[in-house]
Chain A
Amino acid sequence: GAVVSQHPSRVICKSGTSVKIECRSLDFQATTMFWYRQFPKKSLMLMATSNEGSKATYEQGVEKDKFLINHASLTLSTLTVTSAHPEDSSFYICSATQNRGGAYNEQFFGPGTRLTVL
């Protein structure tokens, strides 16, 4: 159980185009989803937190107009990188959690999406 998928796994796009990445919880309803960014040989950095049906909360320094996040259902969140540039090339990872009360609910991570902007 607790499987999270991402699509696509890899994407190459031209500079100036927009790219959408999907994150799905396959066997549970995700009340909260998180989007991370990871540069080569670096750690995971949280970009934003999204709760189903509400606007995402972005971390400091993350442009909300650049990285559009939609969490329209309890099993799907999307990240759209708008007007992508080479510096947006990175490994994007989502995670999902089910609110069961308590101080912390385990995050289940997706396999990641490798974005390359030419």
Chain B
Amino acid sequence: GENVEQHPSTLSVQEGDSAVIKCTYSDSASNYFPWYKQELGKGPQLIIDIRSNVGEKKDQRIAVTLNKTAKHFSLHITETQPEDSAVYFCASTGFQKLVFGTGTRLLVSP
């Protein structure tokens, strides 16, 4: 089955810096790659996603890139703010069932 690896497990940045989180997946049939933000004690919230027919997608300060050949995708957050502090999960799916990465705890210091 699908296996998703995520790095780093923790990431500390200063406010205004950029943050990059990387994921790799194993199933070449996977074609949908969402990113979720989870705040303490809450459910995950979709922040951006990308499909396999697209190499890059951007939404304001957030962007995601996908390299299907290498089977990896990345989340880029620019101009980080303290409210970006949370745990971020990548996920992949080929058909309905999501497989999540191990999570990255992002801490943005003022």
Taking Cβ atoms with an 8 Å cutoff, the residues of A that contact B are: 4, 6, 32, 34, 41-46, 49, 93, 97, 103-107, 109-112, 114
Contacts and interface: CB of A to CB of B under 8 A. Distances in A.
A6 B46 CA distance: 18
Interface string B95-110: 1111111110000000
Interface of B: 31-32, 34, 36, 41-46, 49, 89, 93-103
A44 B46 contact: no
Contacts, number: 52
A104 B89 contact: no
Contacts of A4: 43
Contacts of B42: 111-112
A43 B41 contact: no
A103 B43 contact: no
A32 B97 CA distance: 11
Contact of A44 (B93, B94, B96, B100): B100
19 contacts: A4-B43, A6-B43, A32-B96, A34-B97, A43-B100, A44-B100, A46-B97, A46-B98, A97-B96, A103-B94, A104-B31, A104-B32, A104-B95, A105-B96, A106-B34, A109-B43, A109-B45, A110-B43, A114-B41
